[in-house]
Amino acid sequence: MGSVQASLWAGSFLALNKAWYANYPKSPFHFYDDSKEWLQMDKLGHSWSTYQISQHTTKIWEWAGTDHQQSVLIGSLSGMAYLSVIEILDGYSDKWGFSGYDVLANAAGAGLFAFQELGWKEQRIQMKLSYLPVKYGNLANRADDLFGDGSVEKVLKDYNGQTYWLSANIKSFFPNSDVPSWLNIAVGYGAKTMLGGYENKWHDGNGNLVTRFDIKRVRRYHLSLDIDLTKIKVKNKKIATLFSLFNVLKIPAPSFEIRSDGRFKFHPLYY
């Protein structure tokens, strides 16, 4: 199992280096403070990624026969290690740098998984992701420059379309209630109308400065319902595995939204 994991890691890092870092100049190792970038959406992306890697690596090591506590330790350290290697690659890239805040976000994701698994023996509060494509209209070229023009690439890069959730299982906290075991309540955070890391200002392909301060960057807070697919009892192991994989995503449901500009909105169905 260790050999398989090491091989997958090596392959993914080689692919990442070729697809991402090879397009940018290298530099001596340096640090970079990006704590205020992208309204912290990228930090939640780090936490979500580390949480999911920790959880699913733990399951794989348990499947291989390792005891639960040791599997949790291996899984959590694996999540931290994987994302930390990416930080080191960032540190040698002229465009980015090693971010201590990213490392803290990675630790938060691994810690959220490990503390619950070791303390409660279950994930009562799960970290999930939802994504909706954003229509940029006459700003499509700018969006393509920032987030790529491929659908998979935009899911990973386009912070305007992402929402990160903490989804809590009600029955786990109130075992004597009549609430269905699969019903969760979720709080989410997202942001929109971001056309740059720190502000809506950039240089176009001709070197001209473009300022779109008329487009306000907005934080979005959500309250919604969710489903814990792992709590749905199924006899078929393949379906159970499929449910476990899809459980990284938030289920579409009604949502009540509060925005940082003071506006409120109810979504009959939000994802």
Round to whole Å and give the CA distance between 123 and 116: 6
Please report, for residues 162, 228, 258, the alpha-carbon distance to residue 269 in angstroms, rounded to integers and kept in the order given: 15, 18, 15
Structure tokens at 94: 């002229």
Identify the DSSP state of 179: S
Is the pTM here over 0.85, yes or no? yes
Pinpoint the alpha helices (H) of the chain: 2-19, 41-63, 68-91, 100-119, 140-147, 151-157, 170-173, 237-246
CA–chain centroid gap for 41, Å, is 9
Cα–Cα nearest to 214, from 227, 233, 201, 198 = 201
The helix (H) or strand (E) run that includes residue 35 is: none
SS3 133: coil
Which pLDDT tens digits describe the chain residue by residue (271 residues)? 888 888 888 888 787 777 677 778 889 999 999 999 999 999 999 999 999 999 999 999 999 999 999 999 999 999 999 888 889 889 998 888 999 999 999 999 999 999 999 999 999 999 999 999 999 999 999 999 899 877 787 888 899 999 999 999 999 999 999 999 999 999 999 999 999 999 999 998 888 999 999 999 999 999 999 999 999 999 898 999 899 999 999 999 999 999 999 999 999 999 8
125 touches 113 (CB < 8 A): no
Return the pLDDT at 237.
Answer: 87
Q: Closest Cα to residue 74, out of 85, 58, 59?
A: 58
Strand partners, 223: 187, 256
Distance CA 122, CA 110 (A): 14
Quick one: pLDDT at residue 19? 66
Residue 68 near residue 62, CB atoms below 8 Å? yes
